[in-house]
Amino acid sequence: MPVDPEPLPPDLRQAHAFRTREATAAGVPAERLRRADVRSVTHGVRTCQDICGEEVLAALALGLSPPFAFSHQTAAAVWRLPLPGATGDEPVHVTRPSALAQTRRRGVVGHRGLESRTTTTLRGLPVTDLMDTWADLASCGLRTDDLVVVADVVVRRRPDLLVGLHQVAARRRRGGRALREAAALVRVGSDSPMETRTRLALVRSGLPEPELNGDIHDDTGGWVARCDLVWREARVVVEHEGDQHRTDRRRWRHDIARLRQLEALGWRVVRVTADDLHGRRLQELVALLAQLLLTPAR
């Protein structure tokens, strides 16, 4: 009969991960670390836990010699920035100083140039700061609109970083053109990636810039609603409808009541979905809005 392995010391068994040298120092034989209940995270790091997400990054960090920082898509995930097509299975990006060799490990993409980036610690993980993380995404194949979506989230959290985004875009060589194009399109006030994509599609089609998340009041000054995109003089608003508006019954009823309030005050409300932002449906949407913007509200 197979013999059950001798239990690991509690501090190793209960840790999210541990270095093999720590196990050796605690008297654990190398053969014990090859048993099925111990899994390898990276060279020199083991775990007895089912870890995922940032726990994997924390475990990987145990096997890396400083200085380093998680960067690119990995830093974006730690910052919880929206990335198109992200699945959570992407390789880990690690940046080190130019004077040191790139990190070369299975599942890791190594970069150099840490000395030209600002870093911080977020939930215990060393990461590039918001501005450098955004700038690094340009070298990862993100399109201009994707970069604008990420930057809109950045300045929604930190409006004071708007000028900084322009500065980092101006000094970057790799991806600099895309960054400068994106920086020119960034606006403070967007509440969601789809609001940003809707704004970009409409403005690129020739419509004037809307006010973002503008508050609507009644004739007595009472607050009625906050709308995604607002053309105040024309009394036209665009509201983006995601699946949550359809599947959440309470939200659906609230939206209908709000729509009636706005229309009673003379506002024209156009509701759009992601499907309205492409091809013929976008053309039809733009034509409708252009007509409304030229037609005085009653």
Give the residue ranges of DSSP H helices in 90-211: 130-137, 144-157, 162-171, 176-185, 193-204
In tens, the pLDDT along 32-88 reads 999 999 999 999 999 999 999 999 999 999 999 999 999 999 999 999 999 988 887
| Inter-residue contact 19 to 40 (CB < 8 Å) | no
Q: What is the pTM of this model?
A: 0.90
Assess whether pLDDT exceeds 80 at residue 246: no
**pLDDT reported for residue 1:** 47
Write down all domains in the chain, each with its CATH number in brackets: 10-50 (no CATH), 64-185 (no CATH), 193-294 (3.40.960.10)
Q: What digits encode the pLDDT tens for the residues 177-211?
A: 999 999 999 999 999 999 999 999 999 999 999 99
Residue type, 277: L
* Percentage of the chain lying above the pLDDT 70 cut: 95
| Neighbouring residues of 101: CB distance < 8 A, sequence distance ≥ 6 | 110
Q: Is the dihedral of CA 170, 172, 174, 178 positive or negative?
A: negative
Q: Between β-strands 108-112 and 92-96, what pairing exists: parallel, antiparallel or unpaired?
A: parallel
C-alpha distance from residue 31 to each of 38, 68, 254 (Å) = 11, 31, 62
Task: Please return the burial class of 88, using the count of CB atoms within 10 Å of its CB with bins 0-12, 13-18 and 19+.
Answer: exposed
Check if the beta carbon of residue 133 is closer than 8 Å to that of residue 139: no
Of 185, 182, 238, whose CA–CA distance to 210 is shortest?
238
